[in-house]
Amino acid sequence: MDLHDNHKSHSVLRSFSFAVNGLFIGLLQERNMRIHLLCSVVVVFISVYFSISIIEWIVILFAIGGMFALELLNSAIERVVDLTSPEYHPLAKQAKDMAAGAVLVYAVLSIIVGVLIYYPYIRKLFILN
């Protein structure tokens, strides 16, 4: 069995543990990931407080999960670029900036979704009190 075969013979459980390891590396090494985690906890508390609907929970959970997934991909791209192009290269800059742009697009979309979902609840809170 060569090295390639050995890499391919990981069990599903081991592959899962690699993925969880990647998630922990992201949380430990990336400040933005920790900010997302903090924001996610706040958003979950607000959602429980307002008793948002199932559909709204689904949208919010996708927004939260998508943000973590994109931030992990962005960090992975940053590492690959740093590994393959430690010196300045215009393509390395484009790769990093485009990955950051993807995160920005999703973050702006998530904020808009958040305003659309929570605004009616916040409005109701102030009108009733």
Ligand X SMILES: Nc1ncnc2c1ncn2[C@@H]1O[C@H](COP(=O)(O)OP(=O)(O)OP(=O)(O)O)[C@@H](O)[C@H]1O
Contact residues: ligand X, CB under 6 A: 32, 78, 81, 85, 88-89, 92-93, 96-97, 100
CB of 87 to ligand X, least distance (A): 6
- Residues 6+ away with beta carbon under 8 Å from 10: 18
What single-letter DSSP state applies at residue 20? H
What is the C-alpha to C-alpha distance for residues 95 and 81, in angstroms, rounded to an integer? 8
Nearer to ligand X, 26 or 118 (CB): 26
CB of 39 to ligand X, least distance (A): 16
Q: How far is the CB of 101 from ligand X (least distance, A)?
A: 10
User: Please, how many CA atoms are within 13 Å of residue 87, restricted to the half-sphere of its CB?
Assistant: 0
71 an active-site residue?
yes
| Residues 81 and 92 sit within 8 Å (Cβ to Cβ) | yes
Between residues 37 and 44, which has the closer beta carbon with respect to ligand X?
37
* Catalytic site residue from 30, 71, 78, 87: 71
**Residues listed for the chain:** 129
Query: 66 vs 101, which CB is nearer to ligand X?
Result: 101
* Measured distance CA(79)–CA(30) in Å, rounded: 12
Catalytic residues: 71
